[in-house]
Amino acid sequence: MAESSPEPVDHREGVAEFAALNRRRLFGSPPLNVEELERWAQLRDSLEARFGVEEGPQEGSDRRIQFRIPTHLEVRFESGAALQSAYLSNISTGGLFIATDAPLEPGTPIALSLSAGDDRLQLQGTVAWIGRARENEGPEGMGVRFEQLTPDQRRMIRAILDRELD
């Protein structure tokens, strides 16, 4: 199949279709057929073109499978005894990017608190990498990977993503 530029996709419909296909691709229930896998790749490329792809360290097949939604939500985070407040540059179902001039070292466990409507969403994560949100652009900070999300936390993150897409 020849490489082509991604077909434009309505972002709301594209996100919903991509999410459904991606869950099946990851969990194989039922597995994607060839046409669905091609559609998944087309949606991924289109949505990455629309929302951008963060350039954290990625090797080989470790390409990010979630795309990040730009945002400016406030986040409180704690590692050890230090409690800090900053703003997110983006968020996905797998993690987020915190804009900060004082990023923590990769591998550092971190407790996060985000505003989720009337509630605060408490999450655990690990600093995955430090640098800029996009290659040579955007704020400096740290990419954080979520750890051990509960179904309620996943639902609240999806609600945040939906709200940020509006």
Question: H or E element: which one contains 156?
Answer: helix 151-165
DSSP-based three-state secondary structure for 35: helix
Highest mean pLDDT range out of 7-21, 41-55, 77-91? 77-91
Average pLDDT score, the chain: 78
Whether the pLDDT of residue 1 is over 70: the answer is no
Q: 87-118: per-residue pLDDT in tens? A: 998 888 889 999 988 899 999 999 999 987 77
Per-residue model confidence (pLDDT) at position 55: 46
Whether the pLDDT of residue 6 is over 60: the answer is no
Query: Can you tell me the mean pLDDT for 140-158?
Result: 90
Helix-helix angle 34-51:11-27, to 10 degrees? 130
Highest mean pLDDT range out of 27-31, 80-84, 99-103? 99-103
In angstroms, the Cα distances linking 138 to 73, 132, 142 are 16, 6, 12
Distance CA 2, CA 44 (A): 16
Whether the pLDDT of residue 44 is over 60: the answer is yes
Distance CA 74, CA 155 (A): 19
Q: Tell me the CATH number of domain 69-165, given options 3.30.460.80, 1.10.3720.10, 3.40.50.261, 2.40.10.220.
A: 2.40.10.220
In 54-108, at which residue ranges do the beta strands (DSSP E only) sit? 69-70, 74-79, 82-91, 95-99
Q: Which residues pair with 117 in a beta bridge?
A: none
Per-residue model confidence (pLDDT) at position 5: 47
Per-residue model confidence (pLDDT) at position 133: 60
Annotated domain spans of the chain: 11-51, 69-165
Whether the pLDDT of residue 9 is over 90: the answer is no
Total Cβ atoms within 10 A of residue 134: 16
Q: 153-164: per-residue pLDDT in tens? A: 988 888 888 777
